[in-house]
Each structure stands twice: as C-alpha cells, then as structure tokens.
C-alpha cells in the first residue's frame, strides 16, 4: 500500500461505541497491509465518552509518535471537535472520497474522522486509503494553515 505518511510510525486509531465495529475491521485491513497500529479503544459496544479516545489519538499524532490518526464515532463531529482542540492537529471530518482527498490536499489533515453511522465500511476504508495516498499541495494552502493556530 502506498502512503504519503511515515510508515515507520504506527497509525493511531480510536473511537467510541458507534465506531467500534468499523474500527476492528479497519485495523484488520491496515494490519493486512503490514502497517503498525496503536489502538486506543474502545473495545466493546458499551456506551463510552468519545473524548476519552480522541484525546490519546490526537496526543500521539501531536507528539510525532504516530504517522497520522483515525477517529470514528457516530457522526464524527465529536471526535473531530475534540481532536482539533490540540494545537497542531488538523482533524478532518470525511463523508465521501473527495472530502478525504481534499482534507489532505488543501488542509494537510493529520487525523481523518469517520462518521460510522453515515458511511459504509467500504467507503470508510476507501477514504482512509485516499487520505494516506494524498500529498499536501502546499503553496497558498500552507499560508492558510499557518493562520489556523490561536
């Protein structure tokens, strides 16, 4: 599998109960591609609080200990809002393949957030694959990214 990220680092992944089933299958797919994973949970369908899983993923990416992050929850809004509280995180909420490409191409996203209740598993995997293969375009987009931090 081709990726624009450092494959020597693990991929950080986490999500709440709504994303649990997809997370298990995404991990299997990534491991089948010989990529290393750091799974921050959750590990069941029991109701949990998404920040408990989004913050560790964002922290690992922010500290340069993960190539990038994957977060899943029902709408992906909660995990995206939580991850984006971290100063150097650019978590992009993706609901189709074009958005997955654009959050990398234009926004240099380092976490992809997937709404498990609104996309198929096949689409989720396709979006992750596109996210991993897309390079940041830079240029005028870097100027905009430089203005994000407070």
Which residues are part of the catalytic machinery? 106
Report the Cα 139 to chain-centroid distance in Å: 23
- Sequence-separated contacts (24+) of 35-39 with Cβ below 8 Å: 35/1, 35/3, 35/7, 35/10, 35/11, 36/9, 36/10, 36/11, 37/10, 37/11, 37/13, 38/10, 38/11, 38/12, 38/13, 38/66, 39/13, 39/14
Q: What are phi and psi of 101, to 5 degrees?
A: -70, -45
Residue 140: partners with Cβ closer than 8 Å, 6 or more residues away? none
């Amino acid at each position: 599998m081709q990726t624009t990220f450092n494959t020597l680092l693990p991929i950080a992944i986490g999500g709440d109960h709504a994303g649990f089933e997809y997370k298990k299958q995404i991990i299997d797919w990534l491991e089948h591609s010989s990529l290393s994973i750091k799974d921050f949970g959750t590990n069941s369908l029991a109701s949990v609080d998404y920040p408990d899983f989004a913050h560790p993923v964002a922290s690992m990416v922010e500290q340069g200990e993960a190539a990038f992050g994957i977060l899943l929850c029902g709408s992906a809004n909660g995990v995206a809002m939580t991850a984006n509280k971290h100063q150097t995180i650019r978590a992009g909420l993706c609901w189709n393949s074009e958005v997955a490409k654009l959050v990398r191409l234009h926004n240099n996203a380092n976490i992809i957030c997937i709404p498990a209740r609104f996309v198929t598993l096949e689409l989720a995997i396709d979006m992750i694959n596109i996210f991993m293969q897309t390079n940041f375009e830079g240029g005028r987009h870097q100027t905009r990214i430089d203005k994000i931090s407070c």
